Homo-oligomer: A and B are copies of this chain.
């Protein structure tokens, strides 16, 4: 394996929620993504998309000496332990979040989006438009995830 190097990134903007104590799991809420004004023209054309990927840095996750390798998904001990790369848990070697959101409106350097499960002041690393090739039908997922889906809908 090639020698591990350190990678340095800078936020392109921050998440701004109406209140600091909003439930971030409530995907029906609208949230602002406030982009650094230096990148304002880099947003031109984004309003032609209905959906975007937001990649963000989960700054509230404490840095661990020893990485967590397995979790019970959603903290549910009735679901067998899964490797963290088989889940979307925030407990990851690089605490990066990836969420597909609906773009409601762009106002200059602000994106108003629905479905972003990130806390107020979360640093945003990248925004990528959602294209047809990101949508795959007939996928395979684990049984435990199928059951979760059935009970939550």
Contacts and interface: CB of A to CB of B under 8 A. Distances in A.
Interface of A: 1-2, 4-14, 34-39, 41-46, 48-51, 53, 55, 57, 67, 69-70, 81-88, 92-94, 96, 98, 100, 121, 123, 125-137, 139-143, 145, 149
A2 to B, nearest CB: 5
Given A6-B8, A67-B39, A45 B14 contact: no
A98 B41 contact: no
5 smallest beta-carbon distances between A and B, as pairs: A45-B86, A50-B140, A44-B83, A48-B142, A45-B82
Nearest to A121: B2
A49 B50 CA distance: 26
Nearest to A115: B133
A131 B88 contact: yes
B34 A94 contact: no
A72 to B, nearest CB: 12
A9 to B, nearest CB: 5
